[in-house]
Amino acid sequence: MRRVFAGVGILVAAVLAGWVLAGPTLRPVAAQDAANTPAFYTEKVRPLFVTNCGKCHMDMNHKGGLSLQTKDSTMKGGRHGAVIVPGDPANSLLVKLIRHEGPPDDPRPMPAKAPKMSDADIATIEQWVKAGAVMPDDPAPAP
């Protein structure tokens, strides 16, 4: 009977130790990893750009001088210069415009002529900018 208790005790101790060690250290690192990989852009961010911004800022369209088609064009920005400051969403014009916290016009809130994006979608883009706005060199062409 005592051996069983000792065994259970060791098991519980091991699980607790694993939880204590892995819990605080591993989880935030994993979340960051996700947002600062090119895959995060390709799987989460680009589909939002294609759906909400594509008809004015992708393919042949570069309203306001801004094309979100390639990494170079995205980072170059538009008529007002860079629209993304990697690591600094609060100072990124693109983020301000989709949060409707930029100027009322020229440039106006984005997406132009459409309702504000959902909070969750805005948060995804902000998270991506905050993690460094990492993009593959050659993102998939817009459909």
Q: Is the dihedral of CA 118, 124, 130, 136 positive or negative?
A: negative
**What is the size of the binding site for ligand HEC (CB under 6 A)?**
27
Measured CA to CA in angstroms, residue 26 lies from 29, 31, 39 at distances of 5, 9, 20
Tally the C-alpha atoms within 13 A of residue 92's C-alpha that lie toward its C-beta.
24
Binds ligand HEC by CB under 6 A, chosen from 113, 137, 138, 143: 113
Instruction: Give 135: exposed, middle or buried? Use CB within 10 Å, 0-12, 13-18, 19+.
Output: buried
Q: Shortest gap between Cβ of 84 and ligand HEC (angstroms)?
A: 8
The residue within the footprint of ligand HEC, chosen from 35, 45, 58, 97 (CB under 6 A), is 97
Output the smallest distance, CB 115 to ligand HEC, in A: 11
Contacts of 60 (CB under 8 A, 6+ apart): none
108 forms part of the interface with ligand HEC (CB under 6 A):
yes
Pattern 51-80, ligand HEC, x by CB under 6 A:
-xx-xxx-----xxxx----------xxxx
Point out which residues bind ligand HEC (CB under 6 A).
Answer: 52-53, 55-57, 63-66, 77-80, 83, 93-94, 97-98, 106-108, 110-114, 117
